[in-house]
Amino acid sequence: MTSGTTDAPTPRARLTVLSGPSGVGKGTVVAEVRRLYPHVWVSVSCTTRKPRPGESDGVQYHFVSDAQFDELIATGQLLEYATFAGNRYGTPRKPVDQHLAAGRPTVLEIELQGARQIRDAMPEAQFVLLAPPSMAELRERLLGRRTEGPPDLEARLARAEIELAAADEFDEVIVNDDVEHAAGELVKLIESASAE
Ligand SMILES: Nc1nc2c(ncn2[C@@H]2O[C@H](COP(=O)(O)OP(=O)(O)O)[C@@H](O)[C@H]2O)c(=O)[nH]1
Ligand SMILES: Nc1ncnc2c1ncn2[C@@H]1O[C@H](COP(=O)(O)OP(=O)(O)O)[C@@H](O)[C@H]1O
């Protein structure tokens, strides 16, 4: 069928799920993707983690209490959720549905357990793993970020081993050797998924 009628429905965009160990550079690469490709929409998760210096409510995360998180689950408002290094994280369902329905390429930056839930619920999504050049470099990046003390840092590195061991579950793996390069690769994947 040819398009061109004004009342043709907007095609639903495809979802891209980006996972990868803490400190690999997901936040940094996603910020660069938004700069290169402002049309992309990046979901803002809810978390029970305390804000870091420089983070504000509604920007990096919606910062919520444990009771509020329970309520979000009970009322079916989360598309997926998981516990990571002692805190809970979840994706608000409604904005994701709305942006996909509006045809806007949409990205979730979430950890492995959440990615698996999305794979079960939305198998048409595209799953991308951001990997570090090495475990030594990952540790350096986490240390250099100075956001976690030793117990949290070790918890994140322990999860990193598990997340990288699941690389086969992903459609694509991008090594974050260089931010510009990794962001360029991710933009290509998001655009190709949206063009299908
Ligand atoms: N399942 C799930 N994971 C999330 C969500 N939001 C963030 N995460 C993941 O939670 C982990 C911890 O995030 P954060 O505390 O911001 O630490 P960082 O990744 O080290 O900057 C990361 O792997 C994020 O990708 C979410 O809504 N759902
Ligand atoms: N390609 C890269 N090369 C060197 N350092 C990087 C690179 N990407 C990110 N970083 C740095 O690594 C640290 C962790 O990045 P961040 O985006 O917070 O990771 P994540 O969101 O995956 O936890 C930050 O200090 C960031 O500036």
Give residue-wise pLDDT tens across range 7-59: 777 888 889 999 999 999 999 999 999 999 999 999 999 999 999 999 999 99
Q: Delimit the domains of the chain by residue range.
A: 15-195
Closest approach atom of ligand 2 to CA 144: 25
**How close is the Cα of 148 to the center of ligand 2, in Å?**
14
Closest approach atom of ligand 2 to CA 182: 1
CATH number corresponding to 15-195:
3.40.50.300
Residue 23 is labelled as binding a ligand: yes
Out of 46, 78, 109, 111, mutate this one to test ligand 1's pocket (max ligand atoms within 8 Å of CB): namely 111
Give residue-wise pLDDT tens across range 154-169: 999 999 999 999 999 9
Reply yes or no on whether the pLDDT at 183 is more than 90: yes
Identify the pLDDT of residue 75. Answer: 98
Q: How far apart are CA 134 and CA 140, in angstroms?
A: 10
Query: What's the pTM value of the predicted model, to 2 decimals?
Result: 0.94
- Closest Cα partner for 41 from 97, 126, 99, 91? 99
Out of 145, 147, 176, 181, mutate this one to test ligand 2's pocket (max ligand atoms within 8 Å of CB): namely 145
